[in-house]
Amino acid sequence: MSEFVMVVIGGLAFGAIYALAAIGIVVIHKATKTVNFAHGGFVLFGAFAAYLVVVKLQWTYWAAYVIVPLLIGGIATVIELTILRPLRKADLFTVITATIFIGIGLSEIYRLSYNTEILAMPNPIPGRPFLIGDVILTREQIWVVAGAMISCLIGVLVFSHASMGRSMRAMASNVRGATLCGYSVNRVYALAWFVGGALAGLAGVFAGPSKGVSPELAVSMITAGFVAAVIGGFDSLRGALLGGLLLGLAETFAAAYVSSAMKNAVSFLLLFVVLLWRPEGLFSEGKGRDV
């Protein structure tokens, strides 16, 4: 039983980070209809920025949790303004293709500027683990689950209830209608990229200590983020949150009780099952109608 509980907590810790990455993808997609393949690159840059803040500048993790999302959100906004906005005049496909190469570019910039195997980050909450019966809980696990989940919920609440989110929701619902109501497409798109980038940066801060900072982080996070977003429903922030947790648990259970080789396979298996059985995702907010 204690092993089962430890597996669940381990799965939730991975899942919370996946959820944070997935919510960023969904925010950008909902507001701009752009599938952002550069999201893994943003997570990588977030983790790298956290490394600079915590290891190089020797500031606290709290500084990283504040500075990094703002920084990565800013980078994402600059990319939207300088690269994607001009491309939008062509068509959406061009924009999506551009995000693929922006993602590759970000990874390569990191690789070229920091040619080392991996950058290790210290434990954000060091100290002895808690023992509850036979269950061992590390402080880092508790912090990652709690911190990432709180960040996800804040992201969901901002999008759902804050005035900033209203414009993005309006754009998500109907671009022409939102424009006629006075919302600026350019402003809303920039805002969506900022929020999405900030969430990716935050995911990087949480992922850095447990996965290390390396170009492989971009690949692993974009894959997990997309699978989580598709499972949850690409238009649903709550779905992305739950999809991330579900994916983390599924991967960890597969590794623990089937084999380590099944860890990656199970995520894609889950993806295909959801796409075949419920293509709109498990928690889609889209309104279907019978015709």
Partner 1 sequence: MQDKRKHGCGWFKGRRTFLGAALAAATVFAAPGLHAQQGVTSGEIVIGALGPLTGPFAFIGAPGRDSIALAIEKINEAGGLNGRKLRLIFEHANTPAESVAAAKKLVEENKVFTLILASGSTGAAAAADYVRAAKIPTYNIYGATPIIRTPFAKNIFHSAIPGAEASGKSMIDEVFRAVPNAKKVGVLAGTYAFPQSHLKTIREQMAARAGVELVVEQFDAAARDFTAQLLSMARQKVEAVMILGSFTEAGFAIKQAPEKGLPATTTWVLDGSGVNDGIVAIVGGENTKYLHGYYNVPYFPTQVNDAPMAGFRKLWIGKYGNPPEGRPNLYDMVGYGSMYVLGQAIKNAGPNLTWDSLIASWEKLSDAKPSSMGGVDVIFPETFSATDHQGGRRLGSAAIVDGKWKVVR
Near partner 1 by CB under 8 A: residue from 32, 36, 77, 141: 141
Q: Residue 213 — φ and ψ, nearest 5°?
A: -105, 115
Select the span of 94-102, 143-151, 248-256, 280-288 touching partner 1 (CB under 8 A). 248-256
Q: Following DSSP, what letter does each residue of 257-276 receive, concatenated?
A: HT-TTHHHHHHHHHHHHHHH
User: Is residue 57 close enough to count as binding partner 1 by CB under 8 A?
Assistant: no
Residue 137 or 175: the one with the smaller Cβ distance to partner 1 is 137
**Rounded to whole angstroms, how far apart are CA atoms 250 and 86?**
41
User: Is residue 114 close enough to count as binding partner 1 by CB under 8 A?
Assistant: yes
User: Is residue 138 close enough to count as binding partner 1 by CB under 8 A?
Assistant: yes
Near partner 1 by CB under 8 A: residue from 32, 167, 236, 252: 252
Residue type for 97, please?
T
In the complex, least distance from residue 212 CB atom to partner 1, rounded to whole angstroms = 6
Q: Classify burial at 28, counting beta carbons within 10 Å of its beta carbon; exposed 0-12, middle 13-18, buried 19 or more.
A: buried
In the complex, least distance from residue 102 CB atom to partner 1, rounded to whole angstroms = 19
In the complex, least distance from residue 4 CB atom to partner 1, rounded to whole angstroms = 10
Residue 236 or 267: the one with the smaller Cβ distance to partner 1 is 267
Q: Please state whether 173 falls in left (phi above 0), alpha (psi between -120 and 50) or beta.
A: alpha
Near partner 1 by CB under 8 A: residue from 96, 158, 216, 282: 216
User: Is residue 259 close enough to count as binding partner 1 by CB under 8 A?
Assistant: yes
Residue 70 or 137: the one with the smaller Cβ distance to partner 1 is 137
**Rounded to whole angstroms, how far apart are CA atoms 130 and 142?**
10
Select the span of 4-12, 20-28, 148-156, 224-232 touching partner 1 (CB under 8 A). 4-12
End-to-end CA distance of the chain: 50
Query: Taking the CB of residue 36, how many other CB atoms lie within 10 A of it?
Result: 33
Q: Strand 135-137 to strand 130-132: parallel, antiparallel, or no bridges (unpaired)? A: antiparallel
User: Is residue 122 close enough to count as binding partner 1 by CB under 8 A?
Assistant: yes
User: Is residue 66 close enough to count as binding partner 1 by CB under 8 A?
Assistant: no
**Rounded to whole angstroms, how far apart are CA atoms 42 and 207?**
12
Residues forming beta bridges with residue 130, ordered by sequence position: 137
Select the span of 6-14, 64-72, 93-101, 147-155 touching partner 1 (CB under 8 A). 6-14
Residue 31 or 217: the one with the smaller Cβ distance to partner 1 is 217
Token code pair at residue 139: 């402080």
C-alpha closest to that of 38 among 69, 88, 83, 86: 83
CB 213 within 8 A of CB 44: yes
Residue 197 or 208: the one with the smaller Cβ distance to partner 1 is 208
- Residue ranges that bind partner 1, judged by CB under 8 A: 2-3, 6-7, 9-10, 14, 55, 111, 114-123, 126, 129, 134, 136-138, 141, 210-212, 214, 216, 220, 251-252, 255-256, 259-261, 263
